[in-house]
Structure 1
Amino acid sequence: MSDTPFGFGLPPEEPEDGDGKKKDPAGGGQGAGGGPVNPFAGFGLPGGAGGADNPFAAMFGSLNPNDLGAAFQQLGQMLSYEGGPVNWDMAKQIARQTVAQGTPDGTKDASVGPSERAAVEEAVRLADIWLDGVTSLPSGASTAVAWSRAEWVEATLPAWQQLVDPVAERVGTAMGEVLPEEMQSVAGPLIGMMRSMGGAMFGQQIGQAVGVLAGEVVGSTDIGLPLGPANRAALLPLNIEAFSKDLGVPKDEIRLYLALREAAHQRLFAHVPWLRSHMFGAVEGYARGIKVDTTKLEDVVGQFDPTHPEELQEALQQGMFQPEDTPEQKAALARLETALALVEGWVDAVVHEAAKSRLTGADALRETLRRRRASGGPAEQTFATLIGLQLRPRRLRDASRLWASLTDARGVDGRDRLWEHPDMLPTASDLDDPDGFVHHEQLDFSELDKMLGEAADGKPNLRKDDDKGESDK
């Protein structure tokens, strides 16, 4: 678990590039020179030589005098923001700007052509046919779409808002609690300005992270959550092309394997009605446990100079927001991590069953995707940066093994029946002992089947007493 929600400060266990240098997978908080990102980068304003140390000074220091009025207008818009805890208009602009800049390898976003759309539609159609034989859950994708990176940003921002707002709301509330009550009325305008600035800073961080992620995801469910519209299976052909390089597997097989994963996710979220609210609710429960270092925030409020708004960004980047180490916080975190692992494990198990006899590269693709997660791939790292959570890769393998064992013991229908209610799902401790859970569940299911059979036949539910064998009355 990350100790710095939203990535203010350095996230733990940063991946390394080929030169052994640290890199920021979500792009949050670091510019090309290693300093804080200019919050106005999304507006296309130029930055000067001092930009790495002071993004606002960089903006104003290098502007043509003729553009100064426009710059102040942008600043005024940011300070006058009165929406929720995150300035999502800014987040969207920066995400789109980040996508337009292209990926580090020089690949630029492009509209999806008719042939690529047709290939995605065919892959999802065939994937659903294959999945019919390995799961009792019917198809959950009424539409198959091929997205550009920009389209992915547009389609997924509502889900990001639902995920991130609860954490940002907790932070915004804390900003109004740091002053004594008798001073809050006097300091109201200052607190309002800080909240506006905080919303802008959050929007900058999130927009850049989502924009970078758009350059690497291959579908709408890469983090195990339904980020796109319901019942719409989506793939990104441009990113699949980049993902396919050097794998030694035919591109058609790769597309089909990824379509299987996307379609399997869609089945779960379409036909397990409580699942989405369960997972998003766990995020909200986690957010309620976020605490703010009030001493540090009080210092910021006391010394805040409206003419130097970058000081607020610097304070945010120093990690003043920390998760509380309370039973409630731990429970919310465990609930979400376990649910994510169970979803990913189920998808991994059913996709492998559907693909292993049909795709020659199925085993290689399965392992590639597992390692992508285990190495802190873009999905996990961005998720950790935005809300302070990091899915432990070993849970995915344990969950996949558990679902496969349940299939052997109970069959497809018995395995999928566990999704009928959250209380029926394995717990975190069950993932530590999959065989024990499968054996226990097999006994429970046998007794349940017997009881249901007797009820259907109209027979009484008989239970032998210790010595007399009398029936319950």
Structure 2
Amino acid sequence: MPGGGDLPDPNDPQQMQRFLSQLQQLFATPGGGPVNWDLARQIAQAHLTGAPGMGAGQAPFGLTLPPGIGAPAQPASEQGPVGDPDVDAKTRAAVTESLRLADLWLEPESALPSGIAATAAWTRSEWISATLDVWRKLCDPVAARMVGAMADLVPDEMRSQLGPMTSMVTSLGGALFGGQLGTALGSLAAEVLSASDIGLPLGPAGTAALVPANIEEYGQGLEIDGDQVRLYVALREAAHQRLFGHVPWLRGHVLTAVETYAAGIRVNREAIEEAMNRFDPTNPEGMQEIALEGVFSPEDSPQQKAALARLETALALIEGWVTHVVERAAGDRLPDVVRFAEAFRRRRAAGGPAEQTFAALVGLELRPRRLREATALWAALTEHRGISGRDALWGHPDLLPDEDAFTDPEAYARASLDLTDLENELGDDAPDS
């Protein structure tokens, strides 16, 4: 089709067939599943770096776009890419030393041994690549509901007439969701401080990782010495690694809680129809301008409320434990530990702009509510039962405090529980560090 920017002639079957074939290639979901994760990764990288090499007439994955179609993955921000600074050898060494020292400080404050098998200093792009597999597990259940709803919008009598276009509707849903997830992940990559920063085990098991560029920017906002900031973040990362590394059921417990909650999310068909009406198949880059916020909303049912309560309680207990043991480990060692603790408590309770964008997109907030109460609960358990007795509660999900325990931590901590057998079992079953 000569002319570069010309659209196919609708009266020419061969041109239209080639056009639809290339459009299907563009929207296809590599590897199956409801989300086009390759597109999500491309757009996340574009948000950071501007995705060099993706000019007009080009698409991700080496495809040639049909004439008249521009690049679908341009940086979402009008201010341009946020940047992705390299990590030099000196910074990598400082990260490794901070994590080593943090793990040493945590040793007397936790009955759980070190969970760090490897350390890393990630660029923002490396954070995206290293965490994408877990994001897939978190987002696919929600995305599947949206993509299925989009396919249901095609009436039965039209399916036979549309032919290959019917499957393209489903592919379009995966591309729409992947594009907007990519934008959200690109924004998160510019904010997160470590692999476990949002309270979930996003990175490879046993790998403690910091994101130095984001730590530096965060420290400038706090006006606190950069070495202190890095060490405090390292303490939190090392504490998360102990928890997820030596409580074998915890990772699955949290991810299952997310999936259970996602299963009860309602799809707003009117919002999907409105989004579809705004999509122009001759202008795929316009996908990023289509807002999917409002497509999902939680069902107001007892089951959904219970699922949300379990998830919020799990997140609060994880973050409360981490906050408590880090505060004890930092003690008098970090001059600004009190300021750190309060700043991080506010940060986790409120969530950053990128977290809020992600929550609006998938209908799920990954923020621990009642974090202050959860921290007080673990402190009370330490006072009354000691470190081993406190950490023995991680031996089984049924032993963990429930939401009611937040109301009166002291009373819960004083409750009569014989944890001797649990402590022995935890010590026998804990993996080698």
Question: Normalized against structure 2, the TM-score is what?
Answer: 0.79
For 1:258-337, list aligned pairs within 5 A.
Answer: 258-294=233-269, 317=292, 319-337=294-312
- Is contact 1:175-1:191 (8 Å) kept? no
Residues 322-345 of structure 1: CA deviation (Å, up to 9, x unaligned)? 221112211221111111111000
- Is contact 2:43-2:186 (8 Å) kept? yes
Show the counterpart of 1:91: 40
- Shift of the 347–379 alpha-carbon distance from structure 1 to 2, 3 Å rule, reads farther
In 1: Cα distance, 2:279 partner to 2:49 partner: 35
- Report whether the alignment pairs 1:245 with 2:217: no
- Report whether the alignment pairs 1:397 with 2:377: no
Show the counterpart of 2:117: 142
In 2: Cα distance, 1:66 partner to 1:302 partner: 27
Given candidates 93, 100, 107, the residue that maps to 1:132 is: 107
| Displacement after TM superposition at 1:115 (Å) | 0.7
Show the counterpart of 1:169: 144
- Report whether the alignment pairs 1:361 with 2:336: yes
- Shift of the 452–204 alpha-carbon distance from structure 1 to 2, 3 Å rule, reads closer
| Displacement after TM superposition at 1:378 (Å) | 4.6
Given candidates 346, 350, 360, the residue that maps to 2:321 is: 346
- Name whichever of 305-314 and 232-241 sits farther off: 305-314
| Displacement after TM superposition at 1:95 (Å) | 0.7
In 2: Cα distance, 1:383 partner to 1:409 partner: 39
- Shift of the 181–403 alpha-carbon distance from structure 1 to 2, 3 Å rule, reads same
In 1: Cα distance, 2:280 partner to 2:230 partner: 53
Structure 1, unmatched stretches of 5+, are 1-63, 454-473
Indicate the SS of the match to 1:217: coil
| Displacement after TM superposition at 1:311 (Å) | 9.7
- Is contact 2:350-2:367 (8 Å) kept? no
Residues 435-471 of structure 1: CA deviation (Å, up to 9, x unaligned)? 232222xx123xx659999xxxxxxxxxxxxxxxxxx
| Displacement after TM superposition at 1:300 (Å) | 8.0
Residues 328-376 of structure 1: CA deviation (Å, up to 9, x unaligned)? 2112211111111110000000000000221111111111111222333
| Displacement after TM superposition at 1:196 (Å) | 0.9
In 1: Cα distance, 2:91 partner to 2:173 partner: 41
- Report whether the alignment pairs 1:120 with 2:92: no
Indicate the SS of the match to 2:388: helix
Show the counterpart of 2:188: 213
Show the counterpart of 2:129: 154
In 1: Cα distance, 2:299 partner to 2:214 partner: 37
Larger radius of gyration: 1
In 1: Cα distance, 2:280 partner to 2:354 partner: 37
Show the counterpart of 2:10: none
Alignment RMSD (CA, Å): 3.4
| Displacement after TM superposition at 1:317 (Å) | 3.2
Indicate the SS of the match to 1:322: strand
- Shift of the 194–74 alpha-carbon distance from structure 1 to 2, 3 Å rule, reads same
Letter in 2 for 1:92: R
- Is contact 1:149-1:214 (8 Å) kept? yes
- Is contact 1:90-1:207 (8 Å) kept? yes
- Shift of the 248–420 alpha-carbon distance from structure 1 to 2, 3 Å rule, reads same
Residues 421-447 of structure 1: CA deviation (Å, up to 9, x unaligned)? 11111112222332232222xx123xx
- Report whether the alignment pairs 1:444 with 2:417: yes
Indicate the SS of the match to 1:144: strand
| Displacement after TM superposition at 1:259 (Å) | 0.4
In 1: Cα distance, 2:197 partner to 2:263 partner: 26
- Shift of the 296–156 alpha-carbon distance from structure 1 to 2, 3 Å rule, reads closer
- Shift of the 186–430 alpha-carbon distance from structure 1 to 2, 3 Å rule, reads farther
- Shift of the 214–246 alpha-carbon distance from structure 1 to 2, 3 Å rule, reads closer
Letter in 2 for 1:86: V
In 2: Cα distance, 1:394 partner to 1:216 partner: 20
Letter in 1 for 2:238: A
Indicate the SS of the match to 1:317: coil
Indicate the SS of the match to 1:282: helix
Indicate the SS of the match to 2:370: helix
Show the counterpart of 2:60: none
- Report whether the alignment pairs 1:257 with 2:206: no
Show the counterpart of 1:414: 389
Given candidates 27, 31, 35, the residue that maps to 1:79 is: 27
- Name whichever of 221-230 and 331-340 sits farther off: 331-340
- Is contact 2:49-2:84 (8 Å) kept? yes
- Is contact 1:289-1:329 (8 Å) kept? yes
- Is contact 2:184-2:357 (8 Å) kept? yes
Indicate the SS of the match to 1:145: strand
Letter in 1 for 2:298: P
Residues 80-122 of structure 1: CA deviation (Å, up to 9, x unaligned)? 4463111001000011111114997986312211111110111
In 1: Cα distance, 2:156 partner to 2:171 partner: 21
Show the counterpart of 1:39: none
- Is contact 2:24-2:168 (8 Å) kept? no
Letter in 1 for 2:181: I
Indicate the SS of the match to 2:209: strand
Show the counterpart of 2:64: none
Indicate the SS of the match to 1:389: coil
Residues 50-104 of structure 1: CA deviation (Å, up to 9, x unaligned)? xxxxxxxxxxxxxx964679xx797453234463111001000011111114997
Residues 149-204 of structure 1: CA deviation (Å, up to 9, x unaligned)? 11111101111111100100122223344566676555564442211111111111
Residues 244-279 of structure 1: CA deviation (Å, up to 9, x unaligned)? 114343221111111000000001101011111111
In 2: Cα distance, 1:304 partner to 1:211 partner: 23
Indicate the SS of the match to 1:234: strand
- Shift of the 77–414 alpha-carbon distance from structure 1 to 2, 3 Å rule, reads same
| Displacement after TM superposition at 1:377 (Å) | 2.1
- Is contact 1:167-1:287 (8 Å) kept? yes
In 2: Cα distance, 1:123 partner to 1:300 partner: 47
In 2: Cα distance, 1:300 partner to 1:98 partner: 22
